[in-house]
Structure 1
Amino acid sequence: MKKRLLSFVVFSMVLGLAGCNSKGGGETDQSAAPDKAADTSAIYFNGSSTLTPVINTIAASFNEEYETWDKVDSSFEEAPISIYVASGGSGQGVATLIDGTTSFGMVAREVKDEEKKKIKDEKEYLVGIDALAITVNKESPLLERTDDLTTDQVIKIFSGEYKTWQEVDSSLPADDIVVLTRDVSGGAHEVFQKNIMKDVDVSADVIQAPTMGGLVEKIIDNKNAIGYASYGVASQNEDKLVKLKLDGVACTEENITGGNYILQRPLLLVGSGEPTEQQQAFLDVVLGEEGQAVVEEQGFIRSQSSK
C-alpha cells in the first residue's frame, strides 16, 4: 500500500553557538510554527531537546499507523493526525504552555513551584527517567588513573579551579581540561547546578552546547573533554565515551531508580487542564508499552508506573 505523506511536522532548527566559549544556548525558530488555534485536533509539543526524539519517534509511528483520527477511535472526526514538535529547552516548554501556544510542555527536570502557580490546573505525565552522567572520552588522560570523581573534584573542574588534569591528580599530564555544559539557562544545567555545584558558579570559560547530542559529540571528538551527558544519549554512545562514577556510585539504571545516583531527573509532559480525547489517545500510547519501548530503545529508563 502506498503510504500517505505524514501530517507529522518537526520544528527543531537549533541555532549554533556564536563561539567556542559563548554563554548563549540553543534557541528554536518559532516563526515557522503553525497557529495552534487554526487546527483544534492538532497536538503541539514544545520544550526539552532530550524528550524531542522520543516524542518524534512515537508520533511518527502513531501517524503512520492511523493517518486519520477516526481510525484511532470511530467516535473521532475524520481529520488528519497532526502532531507538531518543537525543541527549545525545558524552560521554553513551560513558557509556551503558560502562554497557551502549546498543548504540552516537554520538561526534563522537575517543574518549579513558581511555574506551577502560573499553569492553570497543571498536569504532569512521567514519560521516563534520565540522569546526567559525568562523561569523558574513551581516551581521556583521567582514565589512566581513575574512573571515579568526587563531588568536590567535579565542582573544582567545572568552576575552573582545576584547569589541567595534573591538578586533578599529580600523576596525570598537564593537558588543559575542556569543560562542556548545556546552556546554563536550560533544564539540564539547572539539575547539575542544584545537585552538584549548589552555590558555586561554573566557569565563564566552559563550552555551552546547544543540544545534548552536540555536547556528546564534542566529548567524542576531544580526549581532554569532560561534561555531563544525558544517561540516554551517553548509553547510545558507550563505545565512544565513559560514564564516570560519582563519589563511588556508578551511573546505572539500578542506582538511578534506587535513588543512589544523585543526578537523576524526570522526563515529563506537562499539560494544563484535562486532555482532549485525541490528546488522551496519544498520551495512552506514549505512556503504554509501545511508547515506553521507544523510551527504552533511546537509552532512557521507563517510567516506574509502566513497569
Structure 2
Amino acid sequence: MSYRLSEIYLLLMLMNKRQIILNTISIAFLAMIISSSVIGSKENTLVIQGSNTVFPIANLAAARFQECNPGITVTVGGEGSGAGIADLIDGKADVATASRFPKQSEIDEANNTDVELIVHTIAKDGIAIIVNPNNPLSELSFEQISKIYNGTYTHWSNLSLTVAVDPIRVLERDESSGTHDYFNEEFLNGEEVNPNTVSDYAQYQSTSQLFADVAENVNAIGYGGLAYVDETVKAVAVKKEEGDTAVTPTIATVSDASYPISRPLYMITNGEPEEGDLRKYWLDFILSVEGQSIVLYVGYIPIGNYLENYDPTNPPECKVIVEGTPFGFITVPIGIAIFALALRRRN
C-alpha cells in the first residue's frame, strides 16, 4: 500500500501551520535522500536557494515534483533572498527564491558576470505584524509601527496599553532577508533598526525563530509571512491612516488587497528557461493548478484564478517529465515516513 499526496494533505490538515512547515522540511529531506539513489547526472538535479518566506512553498512543491519524477533530485534552501540571489549569480543555484525584487546592486553584479536575472512571480504574501497572544494590542497604524521600530515608542504604555512587561521587545529579520528589506522600506524609509534606540532588541535569520520569540515573550513584537501565523502568536489588524478601518491579515484580505501590507513572491532564473530545461518544467509546475494549490495550502495567495480550482483532497495526476523513470518509487517511502511523523507529532 502507498500513500499519495492527497492522503498526506489530509493528514497535514490535522496539524497546525508550524507543524506543517516542519513536516515539509522532513518531506523534502527524505525525498532528496531517496531520489539520490536513482539519479546520476547534474541535468537531473535542481538546486533552489533563497527566501525563508518562500521556503514552505518550494519544500512541499519539491516533494510532489520528485514524487512524480523519481529520477530528479530537488534540494531546497531558505537562507534568505539575498543569499539565494547571490548563489544564483555565483552559479551555485539553479533557481533563487525571493520575497523582494532584486536590488540594483544585485542586477549590476549579475550583469558584470553575464548573468541575466529573470524574475517570475509565483505567489502573493501578506506581512503579518505579530505580538504575544497575552498582549492586549488589537490594531496598529503604519505610523505606530514606524514609531515602534524607530525607537519613538519604547514602552507599551506609550500606546496606552498595560502589558505585564512594559518595555517593547523589538524583533526583526536579518539583513539577508527580503522581508527585512521590504519592511524597512515601508516603515523606516529604507533605514535599519537602531538597537540603541529601542528598549529590547533581537534579530533572527529565520521567521520560525522570530515567531518563537514572540510566542515566549509577552512584550515582543515582530513580523513575518502570513503562512507562519498560527495560534502561538497574534496577528494584529493594520491600517494605513488613523481614520482607516484596521484589517486583519488573512488569505482573503490579502487576496482582495484590503490588508495593506502585501508583496509578490518570486522565483528567479539566469535567463529565460526554454523547453527541455528542468528549470522550465519546475516553473511550469509551480504555476500549474497543483503548484498554486500548494501555494494556497501552506498559507499564501495564488496568482491568477487558482482559488476557484483549489481542491487539496484531489490533486491532479502526476505529470512525468523524465521518460523511463521508475514512477512511484518515492511514493511509498515518503508516505510511510510522513505517516510516522504525523503520528509522533500528534501523540
Normalised by the shorter chain, which TM-score bucket?
0.7 to 0.9
Contact (CA 8 Å) 1:107, 1:267: kept in 2 or not? yes
Change beyond 3 A, Cα 1:200–1:284: closer
Contact (CA 8 Å) 1:159, 1:200: kept in 2 or not? no
Q: Please, which of 265, 269, 272 is the counterpart of residue 270 of structure 2? A: 272
Contact (CA 8 Å) 2:79, 2:205: kept in 1 or not? no
Q: Please, which of 228, 237, 241 is the counterpart of residue 244 of structure 1? A: 237
Contact (CA 8 Å) 1:9, 1:85: kept in 2 or not? no
Residue-by-residue CA offset, 1:34-87 (whole Å, 9 max, x unaligned) = xxxx613311111111112211111112212331xxxxxxxxxxxx21112122
What is the rounded CA distance, in whole Å, between the counterparts of 1:231 and 1:194 in structure 2?
A: 19
Q: Secondary structure at the match of 2:224?
A: strand
What is the aligned partner in structure 2 of residue 233 from structure 1? 228
Matched, 1:63 2:61: no
Equivalent residue runs for 1:209-228 within 5 Å:
209-228=204-223
Matched, 1:287 2:265: no
Q: Secondary structure at the match of 1:282?
A: helix
Contact (CA 8 Å) 1:165, 1:173: kept in 2 or not? no
What is the rounded CA distance, in whole Å, between the counterparts of 1:239 and 1:172 in structure 2?
A: 17
Residue-by-residue CA offset, 1:122-178 (whole Å, 9 max, x unaligned) = 322212111211111221033xxxx22122211221122222111122666771211
How far off its partner does 1:102 sit? 0.9
Matched, 1:166 2:157: yes
What is the aligned partner in structure 1 of residue 312 from structure 2? none
What is the aligned partner in structure 2 of residue 90 from structure 1? 81
Matched, 1:52 2:61: no
What is the rounded CA distance, in whole Å, between the counterparts of 1:203 and 1:64 in structure 2?
A: 46
**Bigger CA drift: 39-48 or 116-125?**
116-125
Q: Please, which of 183, 193, 213 is the counterpart of residue 184 of structure 2? A: 193
Change beyond 3 A, Cα 1:87–1:170: closer
Contact (CA 8 Å) 2:79, 2:176: kept in 1 or not? no
What is the aligned partner in structure 1 of residue 101 from structure 2? 110
How far off its partner does 1:94 sit? 0.8
Matched, 1:300 2:300: yes
How far off its partner does 1:214 sit? 1.4
Amino acid at match of 1:244: A
**Structure 2 unaligned residues grouped into runs of 5+:** 4-28, 35-40, 308-347
Contact (CA 8 Å) 2:49, 2:83: kept in 1 or not? yes
What is the rounded CA distance, in whole Å, between the counterparts of 2:63 and 2:46 in structure 1?
A: 13
Equivalent residue runs for 1:130-209 within 5 Å:
130-142=125-137, 147-169=138-160, 175-198=166-189, 201-204=192-195, 205-209=200-204
Which one has a larger percent helix, Structure 1 or Structure 2?
Answer: 2
| Aligned-pair Cα RMSD in Å | 2.8
Q: Secondary structure at the match of 1:126?
A: strand
How many residues are aligned here? 262
What is the rounded CA distance, in whole Å, between the counterparts of 1:155 and 1:274 in structure 2?
A: 39
What is the rounded CA distance, in whole Å, between the counterparts of 1:302 and 1:2 in structure 2?
A: 29
Change beyond 3 A, Cα 1:9–1:114: farther
Q: Secondary structure at the match of 2:44?
A: coil
What is the aligned partner in structure 1 of residue 32 from structure 2? 8
Contact (CA 8 Å) 1:184, 1:208: kept in 2 or not? no
TM-score by length of 2: 0.68
How far off its partner does 1:207 sit? 0.9
Q: Secondary structure at the match of 1:135?
A: strand
Change beyond 3 A, Cα 1:219–1:99: same
Change beyond 3 A, Cα 1:159–1:9: farther
Equivalent residue runs for 1:75-86 within 5 Å:
80-86=71-77
What is the rounded CA distance, in whole Å, between the counterparts of 2:64 and 2:85 in structure 1?
A: 26
What is the rounded CA distance, in whole Å, between the counterparts of 2:31 and 2:140 in structure 1?
A: 47
How far off its partner does 1:182 sit? 0.8
What is the rounded CA distance, in whole Å, between the counterparts of 2:210 and 2:176 in structure 1?
A: 15
What is the rounded CA distance, in whole Å, between the counterparts of 1:222 and 1:170 in structure 2?
A: 16
How far off its partner does 1:305 sit? 6.5
